């Protein structure tokens, strides 16, 4: 079994995805409000299954990945956050960085859950990968995520194209100059 962490915050449990999450995951990735600024297209059941498998496979091959976000009080699936290495064909390249990502069910927006979860994940990554730059790509129309990225220490690098216009952000983490 992989050593995928479970991280607890005041209100959340960030944990490995489970096979039993699948139906909630299907509903989540089929939600047009969830995918509006990510792909723009709801995922099929088959695509969602592949996404769930990728969530675990990333940990196996890279030592990092995404964790499911669960609300402590209710046990409800909130969304997910973490790090990717997707080898995206884009310029500038973000290969070799911790591509930071997050998505929450619209029901949980506005509660500070994304910030809480990402602060915990970033803290975890800074301890284990202190020399790796963190990046994220965000649609220019996604003002809440752009604000959150800034709050988390990400700074805009450039506008580029990856299946449409995106903004590339970078966070240097704990690296010393």
The C-alpha atoms of residue 39 and residue 34 are separated, in whole angstroms, by 9
The reported pLDDT for the residue numbered 151 is 96
Q: What is the pTM of this model?
A: 0.92
Q: What is the pLDDT of residue 4?
A: 95
Mean per-residue pLDDT over the chain, rounded = 93
When pLDDT is averaged across residues 35-62 and rounded to a whole number, the result is 93
What are 9-23's pLDDT values in tens digits?
Answer: 999 999 999 999 999
- How far, in Å, CA of 169 to CA of 147, rounded? 12
What are the Cα distances from residue 59, in Å, to 53, 70, 83? Answer: 10, 19, 9
Longest dimension (CA), the chain: 46
For the chain, the straight-line distance linking the first and the last C-alpha, in angstroms and rounded, comes to 38
Per the DSSP assignment, residues forming a β-bridge with 80 are 68, 103
pLDDT value at position 1?
45
Q: What is the pLDDT of residue 173?
A: 52
Residue 7 has pLDDT above 90, yes or no: yes
For residue range 141-174, list pLDDT tens digits in order: 999 999 999 999 999 999 999 988 999 999 875 4
Q: Which residues of 83-104 are buried (b: 16+ CB within 10 A; e: fewer)?
A: bbbeeeebeeebeebbbbbbbb
pLDDT per residue as tens digits for the range 66-108: 999 999 999 999 999 999 999 999 999 999 999 999 999 999 9
State the pLDDT at residue 92: 95
Averaged pLDDT for residues 32-51: 94
């Amino acid at each position: 079994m992989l050593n995928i962490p479970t991280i607890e915050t005041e209100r959340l449990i960030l944990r490995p995805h489970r096979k039993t999450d699948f139906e909630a995951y299907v509903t989540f990735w089929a939600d047009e409000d969830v995918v509006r600024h990510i792909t723009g297209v709801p995922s099929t059941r088959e695509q969602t299954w592949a996404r769930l498998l990728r969530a675990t496979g990333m940990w196996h091959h890279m030592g990092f990945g995404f964790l499911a976000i669960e609300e402590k009080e209710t046990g409800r699936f909130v969304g997910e956050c973490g790090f990717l290495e997707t080898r995206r064909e884009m310029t500038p390249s973000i290969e070799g960085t911790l591509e930071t990502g997050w998505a929450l069910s619209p029901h949980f927006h506005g509660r500070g859950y994304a910030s809480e979860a990402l602060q915990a994940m970033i803290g975890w990554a800074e301890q284990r990968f202190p020399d790796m730059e963190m990046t994220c790509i965000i649609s220019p129309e996604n003002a809440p995520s752009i604000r959150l990225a800034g709050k988390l220490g990400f700074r805009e690098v450039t506008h580029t194209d990856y299946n449409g216009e995106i903004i590339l952000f970078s966070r240097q983490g704990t690296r010393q100059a």
